Amino acid sequence: MASTSKANLTEEEEEEEEEDEGQEVQHFDDFTLASSWERFISEIEAICRQWLADGPKNLIEKGAVHLVSSKNMYKVKSELKHATKIYSMEYYFEINNNGKIADWNSTLHDMQLCFGVKEFLVILPQSASGVVLDAPEASKLLSAVAIALSNCSSLWPAFVPVHDPSRKAYIGIQNMGTVFTRRFEADRIGSQVPIKFMHLEGLYELFVSKFAYSTLDHSMHLFKVHLIMKLTYQTLPDDDDDDIQEADAENAESEASAGGDNRNRKHWDDDCPWSEWYSAENPVKGFDLITTWSEKMVESSLEMAEMENASPHDAEKWILAPNIDCSKEERIGFASQLQLLVNALDMSFEAQFMEDFVSVENSGSDNLKSSMVIPPPTVLDRVLKDLFHEGLQFPDSAKGERKSSRAIKGAPVECLFAQFCLHSLWFGNCNIRAIAVLWIEFVREIRWCWEESQPLPKMSANGSIDLTTCLINQKLQMLAICIEKKRELNEEFQDCIGSNDDVSTHMEEDIQVREESTSFYAQSQGFDGKRDSPLTPEVLHKSNTVVSKFSKNSEDVVSADKSPSDSIRRGSAGPVGSMKLLKSYQSLHAPFTQDAPLMTEDMHEERLRAVEAFGDSFDFSAQLERDTLSSDMSSFKAANPDTVFEDFIRWHSPGDWENDESEANGPSKNLTEGMKDDWPPRGRLSQRMSDHGNLWRQIWNDAPVLPAYEQKPLLDPNREGEKILHYLETVRPHQLLEQMVCTAFRASADTLNQTNFGSLSQMTTKMDQLYVTMASALRPLQVNLLSGNSETIEDLRRLCVVFEHVEKLLTLAASLHRKFLQAPRIAEAIFSDYYNFYLPTMGVGSADVDVQKIDAEKEFDMKLQLRMNERQVVSNMFSQPSANQSWRKVLSMGNLLNGHEPILREIIFSMSDSATGSHYAASSPRGYQQDIETYRMYICGTSNDLRVALSVTSYD
């Protein structure tokens, strides 16, 4: 069969086949690699040569893994097979491998610190334990790697993990490139550490025993040993535990009698502004203090014993390492509750009235009741008591408020509606049913205040309506004013009934008092405006000065003012400059007028829509202002008995009085300048005021002569109050929730803004950015553009995430500021480092799985070197352990810091010999003068744990 196929080949194919056979003959098997052991060494050598050829930079480009525990350390690995076992060989390297290794560098790998190496190989079996349990196998494996590295002319040290994994035991070897070889060995005792090795003296003798004759008494001989030492101290894990326990012990009896209320417990944030609503976990879990002693020469055990009694304050360096909670778990705070409030807003479109979410007749009530719980009545009563029955607390609108806060159409944090919104965040689980129950009871309490004429708590009854706030807050502002007006009317009515027998006398005295009060009003204020400002002490003071000036410099005016007609003026606030009445040449007096009726935003919008519907009709505008205009005209008539309609226009609407060119402007003219020669003033009414049937003139003719204090009030408190209550009782759920969301975000931010965090500029900037972000995200709610299933809901949820990040940072800033009041540099440095660490995660949801995977590998690790003047501040944080704390501590080690022993002690002993003048110099290269570190021992441990790593340089 083969010959048949051979015959069918062409001549060219035959030639090609012959060439292939010739090439096969040229290759031959290398029978020197016949054994599996030698092939295993060859595979190791091939991998090492490839890594050496690539170099660190190319290895990183090919996918070397960056180690989280070290900033500069990378790792590559490759699999090997020998017999039936599979091994993994790992190469650890740094980008910059020049220079001497830093012994206490926090970024070092564990193997680097133990053995003083920079780059190294680790070969280990791919098994559950990851260690070589058989000692001959470990030696054979290490020999294979050593032979392969020698063939590659590589100086990498190689390690093999041995024994039990918990022991962290290694054996290793390194070719030094000369005639020297270093051997490594590490092991660990996890319990029952001998007492001798708990002290520096015993550890020193352990190191000396590695190179001294065993028959010598180490305590009687001097050995010059180099030593560097690092001690780590840790603050108590929970700073508040003992305070809480002591408080519990002191208040046990009172708490038992009060039913076990734990409000007397002390927490770290009790005086923080958010503590009224929730208690935050302290993000600063504690601090590690690392004290280091630089290299020194020790010659005897006695010196080590003395060093164990040394104070940590004698250490060359103090390094502070904060332990900050970086967990991704959701925390209870304003952000978490605002998220629930946004969910309630999303559900608020399902009903027409708030009662529908509570009523059993609601079609969706079964689903609501099954998933949404209403707190018990006791909780509801406590909330209402806090809102309405904790005394009259008038709000301080400036408290905690930033200027940018007013861009959010909510309510100031101290106002009644803002407090209601904050309580809603914590009422139950902030679901729509709980909010509906609280709102219904809230409105009932407001109605009770109205019907009983009781002042509305946390609302000022003075001033105007703040149209920059939400509509409900405006309504409550007006209701507070209406209640105050209603109370005044009731008091006046009771006074009238009580003094019915002497009504005329009372009226005369009242008129006399009012007339006397008018003389203190400023007579030279121009009175161009439509309304007069209320009297204040400053205005009264200025008024007296002006009146005296007129009495001295304007005798003709004063004499004119003393005419018989002055005796019947009522409600006068004083003359208006040099203006005179057209018919009687008497001074034109400005009247006291009633304040314009207060209006909320919806009332303004309603009036604006009416004006737009009827166009720019002058008469229609006057009709809207008829009550106010008639009141002003009545007051003007009472203050100027001899007046005419033209006088009122000259005072009230100067733009509708057209002066002749020869006439100067009245209010700006000198009082003593030729007044009689220019009389009467030459001018006329404007076209719109002189038209036939002008509405202003009709109102003027119908207006009675009454001063402001005798007129019917322009604001009817009873009518307006009932309208406000009707609005509150029938407000649509989504309209209520929109205003609640805006107010809750603003009030929460304003509450956090009261936090004292020192001069942390990043935190100040972040708070400013938060207000800008909130104003932008909440704008659709402020203009009633929201609808069901709107994208705005998702924007609000993202805003909650941003709020959560800022809240976490603010909590950390407050904690650091409190701890380092006497050393602000420490707080600023720690916060700045954490801010840069945390910044990449901001703006991304904490529920984002990908972000969690990325950040799970990254931990905040900061080491801050302290200055001498900062040491005492940190030392004070290590307060003397109390009886409850010290019972579990075994003070078996020295170098105590305020009664605290180190949680970790690390020591590096080393012994060096010169390459000349010693047995190491016998075969050393010519001119080799460098000292050789012959012995190095790294010791790490406590009284219950001891790890020792030894490296010995030998001559082969």
pLDDT at 257: 38
The pLDDT tens digits of the residues spanning 741-758 come to 999 999 999 999 999 998
CA distances from 152 to 22, 30, 43, 53, 155 (A): 33, 19, 12, 11, 9
Mean pLDDT of 179-188: 91
pLDDT at 859 over 70: yes
Across 55-69, 142-156, 776-790, 932-946, least confident range: 776-790
pLDDT at 624: 63
Would you list the DSSP string of 662-711? TSPPTTTS-TTSSTTTTPSPPEEE-HHHHSTT-HHHHHHHH-----GGGS
What whole-number distance in Å separates Cα of residue 49 and Cα of residue 257?
79
Taken in order 157, 163, 165, 168, the sign of the CA dihedral is negative
Domain ranges of the chain: 36-189, 572-658+682-706
pLDDT at 681: 67
pLDDT at 145: 93
Give the helix/strand (H/E) hosting 82: strand 73-82
Mean pLDDT of 637-647: 90
pLDDT at 410 over 70: yes
pLDDT at 886: 58
Please check whether residue 630 is in contact with residue 702, taking contact to mean a CB–CB distance below 8 angstroms.
yes
Mean pLDDT of 253-263: 39
Q: Is 822 exposed, middle or buried (0-12, 13-18, 19+ CB in 10 A)?
A: exposed
pLDDT at 103: 59
- In this prediction, residue 890 has a pLDDT band, given cuts at 50, 70 and 90, of low
The pLDDT tens digits of the residues spanning 421-478 come to 999 999 988 999 999 999 999 999 999 999 999 999 999 888 788 999 999 999 999 9
Between residues 759 and 514, which one has the greater pLDDT? 759
pLDDT at 913: 79
pLDDT at 300 over 80: yes
Mean pLDDT of 54-63: 91
Residue 903, token pair as written in the block: 């949680």
pLDDT at 425: 95
Phi-psi region of 400 (alpha: psi -120 to 50; beta: other; left: phi over 0): left
Task: Give Cβ neighbours of residue 477 (< 8 Å, ≥ 6 apart).
Answer: 459, 460, 465, 466, 469
- In this prediction, residue 361 has a pLDDT band, given cuts at 50, 70 and 90, of low
pLDDT at 416: 95
Distance of alpha carbon 491 from the chain centroid: 50
Q: What type of residue is 191? A: S
pLDDT at 858: 66
pLDDT at 677: 47
Please check whether residue 589 is in contact with residue 707, taking contact to mean a CB–CB distance below 8 angstroms.
no
pLDDT at 97: 56
Give the helix/strand (H/E) hosting 49: helix 36-61
Q: What type of residue is 69? A: S
What whole-number distance in Å separates Cα of residue 161 and Cα of residue 949?
13
Q: Is 778 exposed, middle or buried (0-12, 13-18, 19+ CB in 10 A)?
A: buried
Mean pLDDT of 11-19: 51
Mean pLDDT of all residues in the chain? Answer: 78
pLDDT at 723: 94
Q: What is the pTM of this model?
A: 0.76
- In this prediction, residue 22 has a pLDDT band, given cuts at 50, 70 and 90, of very low
Between residues 917 and 276, which one has the greater pLDDT? 276
